[in-house]
Amino acid sequence: MIRRHFPLLRLTPEVAGKLQHDHNRALAKLAQLEREHTELQHQIRAQLGTETLWKLRTDARNAVLLADLKMEAA
């Protein structure tokens, strides 16, 4: 069994407070983006249909994977 010891991170109260504040802001932004994404999916599904939503998801996923592949190859 391999045991890994992670060093203890020691922060000043000011830095810890700023880190907590930044973390809370990032979580709030992520929650807002998730809500907007869900509503966008509902709108696309209602206006264009489920098949179109599936195709858009697949095309977007493939575009991101292609961009990652190009960056990796460069």
Instruction: Summarize pLDDT for 9-64 with one digit per residue, the tens.
Output: 888 999 999 999 999 999 999 999 999 999 999 999 999 999 999 999 999 999 99
Confidence band (pLDDT; 50, 70, 90) for 2? low
Lowest mean pLDDT among 2-6, 24-28, 54-58, 66-70: 2-6
Confidence band (pLDDT; 50, 70, 90) for 74? confident
Whole-prediction pTM: 0.67
Report in angstroms the alpha-carbon separations of 44 from 14, 36, 37, 47, 54: 45, 12, 11, 5, 10
Report in angstroms the alpha-carbon separations of 4 from 11, 16, 63, 72: 22, 24, 38, 30
